[in-house]
Chains A and B, each alone.
Chain A
Amino acid sequence: MSYTPHTQEDIKEMLKAIGVLSIDELFKDIPKTLRPKSFNIPSRKSEFEVTEQLRKLSQKNATQLTNFVGAGFYDHFIPAAVDAIVSRPEFYTAYTPYQPECSQGWLQAIYEYQTIICDLTGLDVSNASLYDGGTALYEAAMMAVRFTGRNKIIMDSGVNLIYRTMLYTYTSNLSIEFVEIPVVHGQSSREELFKYLDDNTAAVILQNPNFFGAVDDHSDVVEKVHKVGALAIASVYPVSLGILKSPGEMGFDIATGEGQSLGIPLSFGGPYLGFMAVKKELVRQMPGRIVGATIDKDGKRGFVLTLQTREQHIRREKATSNICSNEALCALRAAVFASLLGRDGLKELAQHNYQKAEFAKEIISQVSGVEVKRSSPTFNEFTVCLPQHADEVVYRMIDKGFACGFPLGRFYKGMDNYLLVAVTEKRTKEEIRRFADSLEAVL
């Protein structure tokens, strides 16, 4: 076989060295009665056959649609240099850098990634990444529960429903009380939130921009949260941080989010990148790997995985989390992406998103019967009220060549006519105009 190098001669010599007559003899510990009842797998195929089979399958996916769907996962452009770096086998076929002397490349890259995440979020410490934005948010909530010794979590319903649902799943066997705060005019309702805030509150979770794309300054909320000794957790969209006030600037204790927008393909839902940054006093409660700088015997700078006494391979059932990996290659994508763009590029990217979405709002609001919700400022995604069920409109827009947005009725009661439209830097003026024309045509 192509991926196993053994010749018949090799096998013969190796069996002889081991002192057995056949390979079967090596499996003698598996009793005959425990051998597979069936093993009905198709026969091997050539590389060419499998490649063509899967190429044909890939063509059954409709990626030619012009995409206005976001809802937390965005169609951004990925510079070729990002792909070039993550395609280096020295990165993608390496193991977790537990042996620092032969892993300095990975360790330094992660240290740099951590610095970038701290920088974007305005917080002190980042870990080496988590699975995705949802599991990162769950880990943040659990950190708050451990840190405060309390068990009530207040969550804004502007937090992505997918993440809220994940939190419920993960905590279903634990005694954690959740309170959900309604969104009023696209914003977190302070009044409602403060009603529930008390000295049993472990954390308040907010999202910025929220699921409706609305931006907010949560500084006032965070201040109140701290007064009762709870932690403030922000779930954020990293591209927006090119211009938006950072979680650190608003006083948040923990920021998490989905890093997919930083150079990671949509790839039907994964692999993605959960990031997490915290204030320094929380570092020992943080889950996941962390890279630190230190010196070698000669005093030279080097990097190692550190603070490992939090982790499962040392603490077993007493670990802060069961996590044993990170999304290193996705974190590397994010680091290369951010480094290519630099401080000016990231701002430019955020501005392009904001400006194009503003333009789209303007153009779409001219479609008769359509109302663009303007009660709050937005970043690159906004809510449109349609004269009919959004599902139907989405369905008809597919024929026009558009994935035109996410129907909010799927996640929110009473919002059947609402559509969530995302406009990234990839959408051209021409596409936005055609979008509006097509919308007019299908209504």
Chain B
Amino acid sequence: MKGPSGMKLIFENHVEGRKGFSYGKIDVPEFKPLAQKFCRKSVTNLASLSELDVIRHYTNLSRLNYSVDTNFYPLGSCTMKYNPKFTERVASFDGFAQLHPLLPQLLGGGMLAQGSLEVLYETEKLLSEITGMSAFTMQPLAGAHGELTGAMLIAAYHKDKGDRRKYIIVPDSSHGTNPASAAIAGYEVKVIPTGPDGYMDLNEYKKQLNEDVAAVMLTCPDTLGIFNPAIKEIADMAHEVGALMYYDGANLNALLGKARPGDLGFDVMHINLHKTFATPHGGGGPGAGPVGVSEKLVEFLPISRVVRRHDGTYALDYQKRKSIGYIAPFYGNFGVILKAYAYILRLGKEGLVQVAELAVLNANYCRVKLKDYYDLPVDRTCMHECVFSASRQVKNGVHALDIAKYLIDKGYHPPTIYFPMIVKEALMIEPTETESKETLDVFIEVMIEIARLAKENPSLVTQAPITMPIKRLDETKAAREPNLRWKP
């Protein structure tokens, strides 16, 4: 459904004297106000509105968005699966939502937070079993935050052995966060090209791998959606020179119950709970990026750690001499972790395996149905996603971006475009397991229709979108003349 166009900014609706919320009469006697020198002179420009004004403004804004609940999102690398509603309800229980994070840090306070500590402890155990890692820290607040935590754990491990290593290896098909996280943690990045078969170039890898390499960061299945059967070999080679293996868990969905990063030889990994474990993306966050490690890295995990005592109660442990320290203020994005825990309990072993199977089935179905119409740079069985190229359509002036915009007109969120960077005009499709065959069939028909239009009437595609409240936006103007806030 399309919302009204030409929305005013909330500040443009301001009416002096209106109020959307009042704290009522204060029940304590009035004390002397703060001295003027501590007080603000400027008034804020917050709008004065009634509650209905505010509700209507944001409700109408919400209607301008696509979302999983309203539209299909074949968005590669993002795992936009359906987010079950009951997890929202669970997270809103007062006992969880109202708990102050410092309570368990008070003397005797551990007993005040047993429910939440159990959630953290049990989620850690489940994630460890699902991935084959020895332990997890639940603290990282997002996937990229997990990568940074992982890179710091890697640094701590080598430092502890008196080994100062300089490099982290990433393939050129990696997510942009991988090299960025490595660099922020103080490493230099070595990039390995991808061969024509879609796998990391093993010869180049061998050439670059030496005792200056701290770690190799990989995602598996990789960003082309394929599982590299040589993964164990790659890991063994890294281990031979003393380097660690980092697993970017963005693509874990396809592996649930089918393979575990721990068994594949990975030492450190993060999981995007907002991808594989169905917590909502929230328009870009909050996510959560718990980090799992193999046995040799457990002692470096951030503090605090949640431990289970002999009497079955839970407590926080700060006595970890080799811990890298605090990477988050508390125990992670608890509200997000809780939803993932509820999801895992609900699905259970059978459900998780089914997630992987149906996600892979859906992706391969799209791959096979569309490969006659779009170039498929790596034509083989894929895992959770498949990557097409619009290079055939480009010959008629229709780019991946145009296809994306036309899909918007048809009510679809576009696939991921122009990523991975190694595929020209990439269209990366990840349908996820929660979409039905009917949904995929209609989507496939639209994609075929676009391929036909690109040949016969390209301008129909290149002028899209035409059905939305706005047309294509001038992004150059936005960057050259930044207007980043409203001013009265």
Contact = CB atoms under 8 A, between A and B. Distances in A.
Given A99-B414, A268-B113, A359-B28, A37 B286 contact: no
Given A15-B361, A243-B34, A134 B109 contact: no
A39 B350 CA distance: 10
A165 B323 CA distance: 12
Interface residues of B, number: 210
Nearest to A161: B326
Interface in B5-62: 5-7, 9-11, 18-23, 26-35, 37-49, 51, 54-55, 57-62
B141 A271 contact: yes
Contacts of A249: 40-42
B328 interface: yes
Interface stretch (B205-213, B291-299, B448-456, B469-477): B469-477
7 contacts: A18-B365, A43-B348, A51-B86, A54-B119, A97-B284, A103-B283, A271-B286
Contact of A27 (B258, B367, B405): B258
What 10 pairs across the A-B complex have the smallest Cβ distances? A269-B330, A58-B95, A44-B348, A271-B286, A269-B101, A329-B282, A169-B325, A60-B115, A89-B69, A105-B64
B290 interface: no
Contacts, number: 685
Contacts of B330: 268-270
A27 B360 contact: yes
A239 to B, nearest CB: 12
Given A103-B65, A112-B10, A41 B344 contact: yes
A36 B259 CA distance: 5
Nearest to A46: B346
A228 interface: no
A229 interface: no
Contacts of A38: 129, 132
Contact of B39 (A87, A109, A245): A245
B37 A173 contact: no
A406 B51 CA distance: 36
A328 interface: yes
B130 A102 contact: no
A321 to B, nearest CB: 7
Interface in B335-368: 335-336, 338, 341-342, 344-355, 357-358, 360-362, 364-365, 367-368
Interface in A343-388: 343-346, 348-349, 351-352, 354-356, 358-359, 362, 377, 379
A324 B144 contact: yes
A85 B53 CA distance: 12
A40 B186 CA distance: 38
Contact of A174 (B186, B352, B368): B186
A54 B342 contact: yes
Contacts of A403: 100, 103, 106, 112
B393 interface: no
Contact of A60 (B95, B159, B349): B95
A112 B331 CA distance: 30
Contact of B368 (A18, A34, A40): A18
A35 B333 CA distance: 31
Most A CB atoms within 10 A — which of B71, B332, B405, B479? B479
B283 A106 contact: yes
B229 A4 contact: no
Given A6-B361, A342-B49, A392-B107, A295 B95 contact: no
A428 B27 contact: yes
A215 B284 CA distance: 34
A106 B324 contact: no
Most A CB atoms within 10 A — which of B5, B34, B70, B360? B34
Nearest to A48: B86
A93 B67 contact: yes
A145 B91 CA distance: 39
A230 to B, nearest CB: 22
A322 B180 contact: yes
Interface in A60-79: 60-63, 65, 67, 69, 71-73, 75, 79
A95 B78 contact: yes
B155 A173 contact: yes
B195 interface: no
A172 B325 contact: yes
B128 to A, nearest CB: 10
Nearest to B25: A352
Interface stretch (A178-186, A198-206, A309-317, A435-443): A309-317
Nearest to A425: B23
